Amino acid sequence: QVQLVESGGGLVQAGGSLRISCIASGRSSAGSMAWFRQAPGKEREFVAGINLSGRSTYYADSMKGRFTISRDNAKNTVYLQMNSLQSEDTAVYYCALRRWAYGSTKAADYDDWGQGTQVTVSS
CB-CB contact of 26 with 3 (8 Å): yes
Q: Is the pLDDT of residue 29 over 80?
A: no
CB-CB contact of 6 with 37 (8 Å): no
Q: Is the pLDDT of residue 28 over 80?
A: no
Which residues does 23 contact at the CB level (< 8 Å), separation at least 6?
4, 5, 7, 75, 76, 77
CB half-sphere exposure, 19, CA atoms < 13 A: 9
Pairing status of strand 10-13 against strand 117-122: parallel
What percentage of the chain has pLDDT greater than the value 90?
89
| pLDDT at site 101 | 87
Q: Is the pLDDT of residue 21 over 90?
A: yes
| pLDDT at site 1 | 81
* Confidence tier at 27 by pLDDT (50, 70, 90): confident
What is the average per-residue pLDDT within 36-46? Answer: 96
Q: Measure the CA–CA gap between 73 and 114, rounded to whole angstroms.
A: 17
